Structure 1
Amino acid sequence: MATTEYQVTGMTCSHCEHAIRSEVGQVPGVEALDVSAATGRLVVTGPGPVDDALVLAAVDEAGYRAERL
């Protein structure tokens, strides 16, 4: 299992979390994810490394910005 953590900017509520969860959950290789508006963090888990560019694009599609930690 590979876990990657991201800092997300602009996330303020459960609706924001849901929007990110919906988009990032569609990225190939993502088996699980945890997103928290309180901490501004997104944690993505997959069987192997998940493509950062795809995760960042999915967050962008949801209307937020992210960077890998």
Structure 2
Amino acid sequence: MCSCQQHSTANSVAASAPNGAVSFRVEDMTCGHCAGTIKQAIEGRIPGTSVTADPGSKLVSVQGGADAAAIRSAITAAGYTPSAELVG
């Protein structure tokens, strides 16, 4: 989990998973730093993916052919806790 002191309560733009994306709620993603860490973890472990991580909605959406188990594993390896999977 993030230890930065710059947590924000950004307004959510994305409230649901984009079409074709595999998405997870990540309740412990609290700021832009957290979102960047999760994005880098997924894109680094699963080449060809495109990740959108929104701390305001607590939603991480992944496009690019990755399976849910691999995404969940990458989020967990980054130190975060993925919960409910949403399919767009």
Scaled by the length of structure 1, the TM-score of the pair is 0.82
- Give 1:55's aligned residue: 71
- Secondary structure of the corresponding residue to residue 53 of structure 2: strand
1:35 aligns to 2:53 (yes or no): yes
RMSD: 1.8
Higher Rg of the two aligned structures: 2
**Residues 6-21 of structure 1: matches in 2 within 5 Å?**
6-21=24-39
Scaled by the length of structure 2, the TM-score of the pair is 0.67
| Identity value in percent | 25
CA distance in structure 1 between the aligned counterparts of 2:48 and 2:29, rounded to whole angstroms: 20
Runs of 4+ in structure 1 deviating by more than 6 angstroms, as ranges, are: none
Q: How many residues align?
A: 67
- Secondary structure of the corresponding residue to residue 44 of structure 2: coil
- Give 2:44's aligned residue: 26
CA displacement at 1:35 relative to structure 2: 0.3
